[in-house]
Amino acid sequence: MSANARFASMLHEMASMLELLGEQGFRVAAYSKAARAIEGLTSDLSTMQPAQLLAVDGVGEKMAQRAAEYLATGTMKDYAQLKAKVPEGLLQCLGVPGLGPKTVRAMWTTLGVTDIAGLKKAMDDGSLANLPRMGEKAVQKIRDALATIEQGQGRLPLGLAVAIAERVLAVVRAQPGVIRAEAAGSLRRGKETVGDLDIIACVEKLDAGLAQAVMRAATSMPGVQRVLVQGEFKASMLLSVEPPSPAEQAAPEEAKAAEPHPHQQTSTKVLQVDVRVVPRVSFGATLQYFTGSKEHNVRLRALAQTKGLTLNEWGLFLDSTWKPFHEAGPVSASRPLPDGVVDASEEGAIYAHLGAPFVPPEMREDRGEFGSAATSGVALDVAHTARALVRVEDIRSELHSHTTASDGVLSIEQLARAAHARGFHTIAVTDHSQSSTIARGLKPDRLRTHMQAVREVHAKLHAELGMTVLAGSEVDILADGNLDYSDELLQQLDVVVASPHASLKQDAATATKRLLRAIEHPLVHIIGHPTGRIINQRAGLEPAMHELLAAAKQHNVALEVNSHWSRLDLRDLHVRMACEAGVLLAIDCDVHHPDDFANLRFGIATARRGWATKDMVINTWDGPTLHAWLRRKR
């Protein structure tokens, strides 16, 4: 974990502890907000001047002092004092759904409960049910929540969550009266893992019967374990997560062989799914609202307030029209919505009316998308970035793929034709190098034969389709930074993708030196999955990213955004750092199986989360431009 991440996590912990001590809400929120701001920084805390840190939105005098203290001593006096007051186990109790700060504090101060074991005891002997505002049903909910946690309820990798969302959407869209339905939440923002699904279904007019029918269809679909809540327009349920299908398991070999990450939770087996039914006039507002992030929405609603408007999940309203309506009680089917200020059936209208540029979902993290918050010394032009963000349809080449020569399932020609069918002008065949024995890496003599075979396919398909098939290799970056083939051999390859595959637990300084050597190598074009992390399984390398980026810029090397949902490496924050440093990106699918081309959407989402524009991504270039760039290293 980087110093930024460690400091931020301590602030988060302090927020929870203050909450349990009964501290005022806004003070608690200030800690959380500062923690999030630090997490989103693209600069190392240690390299920032005090004035730069104070310029970060959410970081004031006190937090800046704490950062200095943390950097100097590795800890903080305030943090230690809080730790001494609040038992460790209470923080786990706070993580149980349905248990908030008020309840945990009450059971701590009046029942002496200090951990999960004590909580279970208090439920069994009936003392918990005797707390104010507690009863048998509330206790049962906590029991169920504990059981769900023990079953394994972590965050699900994006690729698996998307597959489940599409199943739910199919059921909802099939209901009579449903005009459209979309997934919102962190899935729509393209986050690398998803905690729950938010499904928004749209009907023409609010109708309680219709809404109930849609929610019944969802809550009775196969795999539903438990219905958590069911109101007039919203239902929540727990859905079993089936093991990945064979196609979904077409993960890279190394991913399958990966050792479990020390912090890995038991694998996720249930996913919470919320289904909401809204009228057409509200659909855009609801989609916006539940796409989040929470922090982005807080800012957007505050913006609405400055214009005397109220923004909520039903639309954008004049205070004078919404407030009296609201005072009469919650919205219901029998009480029609008041007219909003704008037609909120599309979310773009809301941004437009508030005078904010439309923010693509992937950028809605309150990391500067409103043009105010500083995340580093470098300012990217928000409006331009939002318009020029790289899209799936911009990608014209694949530069990282495997055939049956190493661990892929396609022949060279099948691979090239699959790439052509997706509209690509170029594919690079980059089978593994000799040290990746698990993946049947090629010894030098096999590589020479393989290159010849690739060039024959190129001659054929270039004549037939105008397709370019490049002879490349995914060359191991060995533990000391040497490459896995001689320079004489590398020189003959059209494309060299250099990737770390083994020794992924080395310390930061060693990893930095290792990757720098690869970047500085004059025959290397792209660094593949630079950290080697596997989501939820392996932390991977933690090199000094700023040093790598400076070197990549200097040596004109592109860093990969590996699109496989188990990798997404570079990750979103690293992409943002690369864009601020002006470093080129290669968004690739690391194709082993024909289905892997479909993972491109996840790599694109990750790149967009890092504010990557089309011009920074070498796969968007036309053939001549890309080929000329590759030849500059030969």
Partner DNA sequence: GCCGTTTTCGGCCCGACTGTTTTCAGTCG
Residues in contact with DNA by the rule CB under 7 A: 24, 26-27, 29-31, 33-34, 56-64, 96-104, 132-139, 141, 185, 196, 198, 229-234, 272, 274, 290, 292, 294, 297-298, 301-302, 304-306, 310-314, 322, 326, 330-331
User: By C-beta, is 62 or 448 nearer to DNA?
Assistant: 62
Nearer to DNA, 58 or 532 (CB): 58
Which residues are paired to 203 by β-bridges? 178, 279
Smallest gap from Cβ 566 to DNA, in A, equals 25
The C-alpha atoms of residue 7 and residue 74 are separated, in whole angstroms, by: 9
Taking the complex as a whole, how short is the minimal distance between the CB of residue 485 and DNA, in angstroms? Answer: 50
Smallest distance from the beta carbon of 290 to DNA, in angstroms?
6
- Write the single-letter amino acid at 556: N
Closer to DNA at the Cβ: 286 or 403?
Answer: 286
Question: 62 or 387: whose CB is closer to DNA?
Answer: 62
Least spacing, CB of residue 568 vs DNA, in Å: 23
Q: Which two tokens stand for residue 396?
A: 């014209």
User: In whole angstroms, what is the distance from residue 439 CA to residue 62 CA?
Assistant: 52
| Of 274 and 560, CB closest to DNA | 274
The secondary structure element, H or E, covering residue 50 is: helix 50-54
Of 340 and 472, the one with the shorter C-beta distance to DNA is 340
283/314 with CB nearer DNA: 314
Cα–Cα distance, 239 to 152 (Å, whole number): 12
Q: How far is the CB of 457 from DNA (least distance, A)?
A: 50
- What stretches of 231-304 adopt beta strand conformation (E)? 234-240, 270-279
Residue 298 token pair: 């807080």
CB 213 → DNA: shortest distance, Å?
15
587: CB partners within 8 A, 6+ apart: 390, 395, 560, 561, 563, 600, 603, 604, 607, 617, 619
Closest approach of DNA to the CB of residue 53, in Å: 10
Contact indicator for 218, 168 with CB cutoff of 8 Å = yes
Measured CA distances, 524 to 293, 395, 496, 592 (Å): 38, 22, 5, 22
Contact present, 559 and 526 (Cβ < 8 Å):
yes
- Judged by beta carbon, residue 234 or residue 553, the one nearer DNA is 234
Q: Is 198 exposed, middle or buried (0-12, 13-18, 19+ CB in 10 A)?
A: buried
Is the Cβ of residue 236 or residue 468 nearer to DNA in the bound state? 236
Q: What minimum distance in Å lies between the beta carbon of 339 and DNA?
A: 15
Residue 578 Cβ, how far from DNA at the closest point, in Å? 27
* Shortest Cβ 313–DNA spacing (Å): 6
Taking CA atoms, 117 is separated from 109, 113, 123, 263, 326, in Å, by: 16, 8, 10, 21, 43
Query: Rg (Cα) of the chain, in Å, rounded?
Result: 26
Whole-number Cα distances in Å, 462 to 63, 313, 406, 454, 459: 60, 53, 24, 12, 5
Measure the CA angle with vertex 166, ends 161 and 170; round to 5°: 150
Q: Rounded CA gap, 76 and 602, in Å?
A: 38
Query: What are the helix (H) ranges across 432-586?
Result: 444-465, 487-490, 508-520, 545-555, 572-581
Q: Which is nearer to DNA, 167 or 234 (CB)?
A: 234
Nearer to DNA, 274 or 569 (CB): 274
Closest to DNA by CB, 373 vs 550, is: 373
| Residue with Cβ nearer DNA (323 or 443) | 323
Work out how close the CB of 474 gets to DNA at its nearest, in angstroms, rounded to a whole number: 40
Min dist CB 108 to DNA, Å, is: 11
Compute the distance between CA of residue 45 and CA of residue 424 in angstroms, rounded to an integer.
41
Structure letter (DSSP) for residue 329: -
Query: Closest distance between DNA and the C-beta of residue 401, in Å?
Result: 38
Q: Is 121 exposed, middle or buried (0-12, 13-18, 19+ CB in 10 A)?
A: middle
Query: In 3D, which of 433, 443, 516, 503 has the Cα closest to residue 475?
Result: 433
Beta carbon of residue 321, minimum distance to DNA (angstroms, whole number): 11
What is the spatial distance between Cα 375 and Cα 365, in angstroms, rounded to a whole number? 12
Q: How far apart are CA 302 and CA 187, in angstroms?
A: 24
Q: Which is nearer to DNA, 126 or 135 (CB)?
A: 135
